[in-house]
Amino acid sequence: MSKYWSAIVGSLTPYVPGEQPKPGSLVKLNTNENPYPPSPAVLRAIAQAADQRLRLYSDPHSEDLRAAIARHHSVSPAQAFVGNGSDEVLAHTFLGLLKHDAPLLFPDVTYSFYPVYCKLFGIPYQPVALDDSFSLRVDDYLRPCGGVIFPNPNAPTGRLLPLTEVARLIKGLPDVPVVVDEAYIDFGGESAIPLVADHPNLLVIHTLSKSRALAGLRVGFAIGQADLIEGLNRVKNSFNSYPLDRLAQAGAQAALEDTDYLKRNCEAIIATRERMSRALSDLGFNVLPSAANFVFAHHPQRDAGELASALRARDFVVRHFRAPRIEQFLRISVGTEAQTDALIDALRGILSSPSE
């Protein structure tokens, strides 16, 4: 605590991202990165943009990128907002659309950045318990509130809420914003973006960090009706006019345009996920059904923290949250086929010996 800090700073509990170790021999399955490279078209576009034009500001409105997003998702450019990763899009959304007198609702087990944003911006909120199977019950949200946000599929559980249920939630709360954070939707879910046309209260947020294999480029976007997007732009233009550099805009546009690559990449990851889920079940894990590029699993006989440590000793990094209800779970990103085989072998070895 410093006397020079604004009063709010002392009360913050900043988000702690998953460990980003320096490259080496570690098998990194802790932050849900894509195990495959981005589309070659992305690298070409970046190479073409990396010249003396870097002396000039990037387009503050990301017009070309927003046009590509609009084409890909069959919306208008005025319905698209881009930001520096979906985390920045979320930050502007919390401040611009989700700060109301009534509490914001989100699941008790969810992306742990949500309560952090609420504290930063002074937003009242109320966690809503997932049911015993970690499923979201729409009826629990149909009550007076300032808004709703939830990831679909949820993180870190991987569980998908069917689109019919998403629609029921949006229709049931027509007077407050409902934000669906679809960071992982391409790995087996059905996007709510087509619902935007008929629902002025719906905002859908995507990222290029997961299915587009571009976590290192920092691009996310939101889709909603034009007046929601205008609210986001007013906040963004009061914060940072140029959040996306020239290289990120060029690379992201190329990524959006390579639909075939996206499809093949996601199919490969889904196939590996299903195989990994079965193998983990065979080892005695209870594995939640996942529609994401990770699985969430616990072993009835082994402490999750000890399992994470034992894996780390064997050079596998997975995510273990010391949080209520999930402290006996591991969240394991879907890697390549070879990484998955190696992980299963390592777990088999760990489980065949007594607790370490």
For its own copies, the binding residues in 36-75 under the rule CB under 8 A are: 36-38, 42-43, 46-47, 50-60
Q: Vertex 253, ends 248 and 257: CA angle to 5°?
A: 150
* Residues 104 to 123 in contact with its own copies, rule: CB under 8 A: 116-117, 119-120
- Minimum CB–partner distance for residue 99 and its own copies (Å): 4
Cβ nearer to its own copies, comparing 229 with 350: 229
Nearest in space to 174 (alpha carbons), one of 196, 151, 199, 192: 199
Using a 10 angstrom Cβ sphere, with 0-12 exposed, 13-18 middle and 19 or more buried, the burial of residue 40 is exposed
Q: Vertex 325, ends 320 and 329: CA angle to 5°?
A: 35
Cβ nearer to its own copies, comparing 226 with 344: 226
The DSSP letter of residue 171 is H
Site string for its own copies, 315-354 (x = CB under 8 A): ----------------------------------------
Nearest in space to 45 (alpha carbons), one of 309, 222, 234, 248: 248
- Minimum CB–partner distance for residue 190 and its own copies (Å): 24
- Minimum CB–partner distance for residue 348 and its own copies (Å): 27
* Residues 234 to 263 in contact with its own copies, rule: CB under 8 A: 234-248, 251
- Minimum CB–partner distance for residue 113 and its own copies (Å): 8
Quick check: 29 binds its own copies (CB under 8 A)? no
Quick check: 355 binds its own copies (CB under 8 A)? no
Interface region with its own copies, contact rule CB under 8 A, candidates 84-92, 157-165, 318-326, 342-350:
84-92
Cβ nearer to its own copies, comparing 30 with 191: 30
Tokens of 239: 């914060």
Cβ nearer to its own copies, comparing 33 with 182: 33
Quick check: 84 binds its own copies (CB under 8 A)? yes
Residue choice 20, 74, 76, 281 for contact with its own copies (CB under 8 A): 20
Residue choice 29, 68, 69, 95 for contact with its own copies (CB under 8 A): 95
H/E stretch holding 81 reads: strand 80-83
Q: Vertex 345, ends 342 and 347: CA angle to 5°?
A: 110
Quick check: 24 binds its own copies (CB under 8 A)? no
Q: Is 119 helix (H, G, I), strand (E, B) or coil?
A: helix
Residue choice 73, 218, 273, 319 for contact with its own copies (CB under 8 A): 218
CB 146 within 8 A of CB 186: no
* Strand ranges for 260-329 from DSSP E: 286-287, 294-298, 316-317
- For tokens 């946000």, the residue is 149
Quick check: 97 binds its own copies (CB under 8 A)? yes
Q: Per DSSP, what are the bridge partners of residue 201?
A: none
How many Cβ atoms are within 10 Å of 50's Cβ, its own excluded? 12
Size of interface with its own copies, in residues (CB under 8 A): 88
Interface region with its own copies, contact rule CB under 8 A, candidates 160-168, 227-235, 307-315, 345-353:
227-235
* Residues 147 to 206 in contact with its own copies, rule: CB under 8 A: 147, 175-177, 200-201
Residue choice 75, 109, 214, 297 for contact with its own copies (CB under 8 A): 214
Tokens of 213: 């294999």
Categorise residue 189: left if φ over 0, alpha if ψ from -120 to 50, beta otherwise: beta
User: What are the two backbone dihedrals, phi and then psi, of residue 61, each rounded to the nearest 5 degrees?
Assistant: -100, 0
